[in-house]
Structure 1
Amino acid sequence: MTAMTRQDTPVAIEGDGVEVRTHEIGGDLSVGFVRLPQGADLRPAVKGLPDDLCPCPHWGYMLKGRLKMATKDGEEVYEAGQAFYWPTGHAPVALEDCEYVDFSPTDAFLSVIKHIAAQG
């Protein structure tokens, strides 16, 4: 078994108030600790990925704030206290300062992180 805290998890993306920390926790699964400041819009960062949206599924829990998830079929809002599943094809926009923890397939998540990091 593996237990992780945000502080124990290496930073993968950092800048403009955005912080993504990720670590493989076993098999092909990684944990991500994400902070997005109000107004952060990751749609430009995922341009160039399939459908210009994140192709990695995520399962997680909103710790703080409100987040709009843009998809090709519309938008949905998530808020603190909610568990979520985001299938492939999404891009987050922070409506408030947000924090969430998610679990994702390692290879798909790392591919998205590398793409976003290359945009900066």
Structure 2
Amino acid sequence: MTGYEGRYRETDGYTIAFEKFEEGGDFTPFYKGLPDDRCQSHHWGYVVKGRLIMHMPDGDEVVEAGEAYYTPPGHTDELDPGTVLVEFSPTEELARTLAVVGQNIEG
């Protein structure tokens, strides 16, 4: 993905992701093919810089720099350009989700 930089560390069943999204955007299309076309992983995180918008069936949650968040499975997301996150996710859930996301990115 253009403008994306990510580093990952797996430990005790969780993946810690340090991610930077230079271009930002709405990532909803990348979840196509997952149940309800939505991310199927839990995430706990912290927005270091920028803004994250989580689209959930019951409404949106906006998280800005300096704020922590939790989001359950069943969401899509949108990020402002330049957003930087630190995120913790169950490794197995994340891997299943990213397998589909990766296929969608490759086209």
Give the secondary structure class of the aligned counterpart of 1:67. strand
1:34-113 correspondence to structure 2 within 5 Å = 34-113=19-98
1:40-91 C-alpha deviation (Å, 9 max, x unpaired): 2110001111111101000111101011111111211111100110111111
Give the secondary structure class of the aligned counterpart of 2:25. coil
Structure 1 equivalent of residue 5 of structure 2: 19
1:39 offset after TM fit, Å?
4.0
Conserved in 2, the CA contact under 8 Å of 1:62 and 1:83? yes
| TM-score, scaled relative to structure 1 | 0.79
Q: For the residues of structure 1 that align with 2:23 and 2:74, how far apart are their CA atoms?
A: 22
Unaligned residue ranges in structure 2 (runs of 5+): none
Q: For the residues of structure 2 that align with 1:66 and 1:39, how far apart are their CA atoms?
A: 9
Partner letter of residue 67 of structure 1?
L
Q: For the residues of structure 2 that align with 1:34 and 1:112, how far apart are their CA atoms?
A: 17
Q: For the residues of structure 1 that align with 2:87 and 2:42, how far apart are their CA atoms?
A: 10
Whose relative contact order is higher, 1 or 2, with alpha carbons under 8 Å and at least 6 apart? 2
Unaligned residue ranges in structure 1 (runs of 5+): 1-14
